[in-house]
Amino acid sequence: MWHSALLLGAFLLSGQVRGSDGSASTAITCFTRGLDLRKGTEDVLCPANCPLWQFYVFGDGVYASLSSVCGAAIHSGVITNTGGAVRVQTLPGQENYPAVNANGIQSQVLSRWASSFSVTAGTQSTALEAVGRSVSTARPSTGKRPKKTLDKKAGNKDCKADIAFLIDGSYNIGQRRFNLQKNFVGKVAVMLGIGTEGPHVGVVQASEHPKIEFYLKNFTATKEVLFAIKELGFRGGNSNTGKALKYTAQKFFSLENGARKGIPKIIVVFLDGWPSDDLEEAGIVAREFGVNVFIVSVAKPTTEELGMVQDIGFVDKAVCRNNGFFSYQMPTWFGTTKYVKPLVQKLCSHEQMLCSKTCYNSVNIGFLIDGSSSIGESNFRLVLEFVSNVAKAFEISDIGSKVAAVQFTYDQRTEFGFTDFVTKDKVLSAIHGIHYMSGGTATGDAISFTTRNVFGPVKDGPNKNFLIVLTDGQSYDDVRGPAAAAQKAGITVFSVGVAWAPLDDLKDMASEPRESHTFFTREFTGLEQMVPDIIRGICKDFLDSKQ
């Protein structure tokens, strides 16, 4: 017993136990993610009795790095919920993490993530695992845990989001619980990894009248945000959460106040009890503004209190999507530390921010540019100006819209792919840097090449795919078959013809309805007038696909 107590004390101080083979395991929590570990291969010790329903796991066998390590280990059958030693191997990111139900855990689908990991059985002895379990269930380890290397100024680049915390400042919550709420919001802010290139946060207080406490642009360092949260004063009044949500959606996320283009917009609504006004209309307004609404409800109404609630289904009507992802429940403001990481994992899951997705920030646009001899150098510059003007309209970023370009004659040349440039300035510079090839016209082969080599790598990604074919003449090969194959692969095709481009070819390439996807101008100078119509066409198709 005395020996076990010594071992337990050493474990608490170091955060590690050493097995009979000399290897050291790091004690982790139920919610430690793969991206929280710093080594390529690391032995960790999972605690017992983790709440399975709170795990966030993405994939099967190979897991996205934002997955819970212990959740992945249980899901894959490496350990059970009695805890145990796990070896974690860091892997490259991949496309298409599948959703699989296994061992009591439902993993979630994810289209793409920057890094992955796999799990296998660790090497710790049974006795040491038991000590690790007893420590984990008794109280959290006080030893230092490895953290992901993070540039404090840049912040967590894997969690780009603009977040408004809409806190409850009404008499319903009271001064004491208001302070506990501030403490919880501060912990969430710390774990998010606030920084210039990571998440930005601001705070709005809901009471009789909403008040913006600070904007996204005011603080980009965690310490500054924590100080600002600590200084917030309790306002009192009715909990007019709907009024505050609507106000925040309309006023908070302007470019002048620090909102960034192409970055998901999120409002996290903290609600103690229930709202005293209507949330449904506010939720609709938020969705119209492209804002993802999360409801964090604390201390749900009791059976006796339900009669005082105007609308029992207020949560489902306010959130971004009624799919369970955007609502989060905590039983009390006391002992909330364990709820921090699961909430942060949700807020950093960009692929699921459905309400931020618009035609401007969620499309891949490929330009297939005719470089044949009949165009000439000066007209080719006008074509590139057209391409540039279309691209300018979209919010290009690593998590937003993307642009690629292929030039063709008899041959094809990928000028740049969808992942080569992830800022608008670099894309526009690359467009203007394209050199004129000169040669024949094999449009069909070029469509097949682009479908396979440019759109192929992103076919399972979250963005909707568009191809804009620009040509000035008759193709020497068949265009109908390659265009049909492109459309079957989920690519919407717009055809833009100039000068001698035959209308039959243009219509054969265009998606249905062909009339709205086919464009023609007699002169190259006429391309400029087409830009607004092309952009509107892309946005209409995007919206139609979401219906």
Q: Can you tell me the distance from the alpha carbon of 475 to that of 441, in angstroms, rounded to the nearest whole number?
A: 5
Helix (H, G, I), strand (E, B) or coil at 261: coil
Q: Can you tell me the distance from the alpha carbon of 488 to that of 374, in angstroms, rounded to the nearest whole number?
A: 31
Q: What is the pTM of this model?
A: 0.58
Residue 436: partners with Cβ closer than 8 Å, 6 or more residues away: 371, 375, 377, 380
* C-alpha distances in Å from residue 365, one per residue of 41, 259, 451: 38, 24, 12
Write out the chain's pLDDT in tens, 547 residues: 333 333 333 333 334 444 444 456 788 888 788 887 878 899 999 988 887 766 778 899 999 888 889 999 999 999 998 889 999 999 988 888 888 888 888 888 777 777 899 999 887 443 333 333 333 333 333 344 444 445 668 888 889 899 999 999 988 888 999 999 999 999 999 999 999 989 999 999 998 899 999 999 999 888 899 999 999 999 988 888 899 999 999 999 999 999 988 889 999 999 887 777 788 889 888 988 889 999 998 876 655 555 555 556 778 888 888 888 998 889 888 888 899 999 999 999 887 888 888 888 899 999 999 999 999 999 999 999 999 999 999 989 888 899 999 999 999 999 999 999 989 999 999 999 999 999 999 999 999 999 999 999 998 888 999 999 999 989 999 999 999 999 999 999 999 999 999 999 999 999 999 999 999 999 999 999 999 999 999 999 998 886 6
Contact 133, 48 (CB under 8 A): yes
Over residues 6-36, the pLDDT tens digits come to 333 333 333 444 444 445 678 888 878 888 7
Residue 328: partners with Cβ closer than 8 Å, 6 or more residues away: 294, 295, 296, 297, 339, 342, 343, 346
Q: Give the pLDDT confidence score for residue 261 in this predicted structure.
A: 82
* C-alpha distances in Å from residue 113, one per residue of 66, 242, 296: 8, 34, 26
Q: For 522, how many CA atoms within 13 A lie in the half-sphere containing its CB?
A: 0
**Helix segments in 328-404, DSSP class H:** 340-347, 377-392
> Which domains are present in the chain?
2-138 (2.170.130.20), 162-350 (3.40.50.410), 363-546 (3.40.50.410)
Q: Can you tell me the distance from the alpha carbon of 222 to that of 219, in angstroms, rounded to the nearest whole number?
A: 8
Give the single-character DSSP code of 149.
Answer: -
User: Shortest CA distance to 426 belongs to which of 416, 436, 435?
Assistant: 416
- Degrees to nearest 5, angle at CA 452 with 450 and 457: 105
User: Shortest CA distance to 432 belongs to which of 370, 389, 373, 494?
Assistant: 389
Q: Give the pLDDT confidence score for residue 148 in this predicted structure.
A: 45
Q: Can you tell me the distance from the alpha carbon of 206 to that of 465, in angstroms, rounded to the nearest whole number?
A: 40
Q: For 194, how many CA atoms within 13 A lie in the half-sphere containing its CB?
A: 23
Give the H or E element holding residue 237. Answer: none
Q: Give the pLDDT confidence score for residue 25 in this predicted structure.
A: 75
Number of DSSP helices (H) and strands (E) in the chain, helices first: 16, 21
User: Shortest CA distance to 462 belongs to which of 162, 110, 158?
Assistant: 110
Buried residues in 168-193 as b, exposed as e (16+ CB within 10 A): bbbebbeeebbebbbebbbbbbebbb
Give the single-character DSSP code of 367.
Answer: E
Give the single-character DSSP code of 522.
Answer: S
Encoding tokens for residue 453?
């080599």
Over residues 481-523, the pLDDT tens digits come to 999 999 999 999 999 999 999 999 999 999 999 999 999 999 9
